[in-house]
Structures are given as structure tokens and as C-alpha cells.
């Protein structure tokens, strides 16, 4: 959902029932606010249900698959 809305943004999401962490490689406070607002609008959940975190790169294996366990 986030990748489709924010073209060119590299991201990955992890989470549990009541909270989602969104990892992005673009360190911008403005982009963080845009992503949070978009998720609130699309899911109708409060912004506190989402944490947008900046990381240098999304960890991936040799096949290009995201290594979600390394994001925690």
C-alpha cells in the first residue's frame, strides 16, 4: 500500500495486531508525516498505531527478498 502511493520510496512494514512499523530509506520528517497521514486515511486507524522509522537500507537476501527479522 505504501509503495504504491509513494512511488520510488523503498519501504518495508512489520507489526502486530495493534501497531505497525514502517521502515523507509528516505530520512525526511515531511515524508514521515505524509506516510502516517496516508495510513490513517486508508485504514481509519489513529496515527499512534503507526511508527515510521528511517533506516539506511532495507535488508535483503541474495534473491532480493526483504529480511523482516533484521528490521526488528
Strand, helix or coil at 16?
strand
Residue 26: all three cell numbers together: 528516505
Alpha-carbon span 13 to 4, nearest angstrom = 13
Q: What is the pLDDT of residue 20?
A: 93
List, for residues 11-34, the tens digit of each pLDDT value. Answer: 999 999 889 999 999 888 999 999
Q: Is the pLDDT of residue 56 over 90?
A: yes
Phi, psi of 28 (to 5 degrees): -140, 125
pLDDT band of residue 58 (cuts 50, 70, 90) is: very high
The CATH superfamily label for domain 2-71 reads ANL, C-terminal domain (3.30.300.30)
Query: CB–CB of 17/49 below 8 Å?
Result: no
User: Mean of the pLDDT values across residues 49-62?
Assistant: 94
Amino acid at each position: 500500500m505504501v509503495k504504491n502511493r509513494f512511488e520510488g520510496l523503498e519501504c518495508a512494514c512489520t507489526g502486530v495486531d495493534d501497531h505497525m512499523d514502517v521502515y523507509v530509506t528516505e530520512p525526511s520528517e515531511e515524508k514521515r508525516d505524509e506516510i502516517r497521514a496516508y495510513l490513517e486515511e486508508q485504514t481509519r486507524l489513529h496515527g499512534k498505531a503507526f511508527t515510521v522509522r528511517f533506516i539506511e537500507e532495507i535488508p535483503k537476501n541474495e534473491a532480493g527478498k526483504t529480511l523482516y527479522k533484521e528490521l526488528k
